[in-house]
Amino acid sequence: MNLKNLSLNQKLGVLALILGLIALFTHDPTKATYVRIDPKELSLEINSPSKFIAPVELAEEIISGHEFFTLVDLRNPSEYEKGTIPGAINLSAKDLFESYLQRNQKIILFSEEDTKALNAWIALKSQGYKNVLVLKGGYQGWQNEVLFPKISSDTTKAGKEKLEKIKQISNYFGGTPILISEGKGIPIQTETRKATTMQQQTPAPAVKKPGGTAKPKREGC
């Protein structure tokens, strides 16, 4: 068969068939097996503190609402029901890959403490997820540093400003700072509820536009 005798349409048809035929013998491009991971780089990252985000930092990001990220609560559904960080979604470690999380998305993981979240971090990283962070200290860290931070009274002007800021953040999420005086913790506000009962019913605060819950941008029709 002489190629020159074919019309343009026939040549295009032949080209498409050849490409289709090649496709038969190639590996599946949707499988992530060829995500190139540099083991050296990964182990360096595992040991670096840059994968952590401090609770207060996260709180500020949620309040500002500037950046879109997905907050993942890795604890049991029952713990999640009792109280979580506003905007967090509840996924088990094994559901991580089934979910709609995408490799280029900013993902912040937390569990009760660090361990579970760190394991999930390694799993995601090894699958080529680019932008994954772990909440330092987990949900406990969140409670201790954002919801019910322990503060000692400070009468200097700078100290007062700092306290005011901590208090604002804490109140924003429905918590309250605990004043430390003579080794005893007293909640700063007049409410006499104990911190422990409060954490049970951390109210969904009137968050204007939390970064975590902002709907992702629509992409379809």
Partner 1 sequence: MIAPFYKFGMFGEEFSLIVAFLIGIGFGFFLERAGFGSARKLASQFYLYDMTVFKVMFTAIVTAMLGVYFLGVFGFLDINLIYFTPTYVVPQIVGGFLLGFGFIIGGYCPGTSVVSTSIGHLDGLFFLIGVFIGVFIYGEVYPLIANFATSTAMGKATIYDFLHIPYGVVVFAVVLIAVGGFAGASYLEKKFYSKIFGS
Partner 2 sequence: MEEKELTNGETTKAFHKESFPEKPYWNPYLAGIGLGIVLLLAFVIMGRGLGASGAVSTLVATGVAKIAPNHAQNNEFYQNYLVQENPLKDWLVFEVLGVLVGGFISGIFANRVKFKIEKGPKINNVQRLVFATIGGALMGFGAKLAGGCTSGQALTGGALLNLGSWLFMLSVFAGGYLIAYIFRRLWL
- The footprint of partner 2 (CB under 8 A) covers 8-9, 12, 214-215, 217-221
Q: Rank residues 104 and 200 by Cβ distance to partner 1 and give the closer one.
A: 104
Least distance to partner 2, CB of residue 103, Å: 11
Least distance to partner 2, CB of residue 9, Å: 6
Q: Rank residues 30 and 190 by Cβ distance to partner 1 and give the closer one.
A: 30
- Give the one entry of partner 2, partner 1, none that residue 21 binds, where binding means its C-beta sits below a cut-off of 5 to 8 angstroms depending on kind: partner 1
| CA distances to 153, 162, 164, 166, 173 from 157, in Å | 11, 9, 11, 14, 25
Q: Rank residues 31 and 208 by Cβ distance to partner 1 and give the closer one.
A: 31
Strand runs labelled E in 17-138 = 52-53, 70-73, 89-90, 106-110, 131-135
- Give the one entry of partner 1, partner 2, none that residue 186 binds, where binding means its C-beta sits below a cut-off of 5 to 8 angstroms depending on kind: none
| Spatial separation of the C-alpha atoms in residues 47 and 210, rounded to whole Å | 30
Q: Rank residues 53 and 207 by Cβ distance to partner 2 and give the closer one.
A: 207
| Spatial separation of the C-alpha atoms in residues 188 and 33, rounded to whole Å | 54
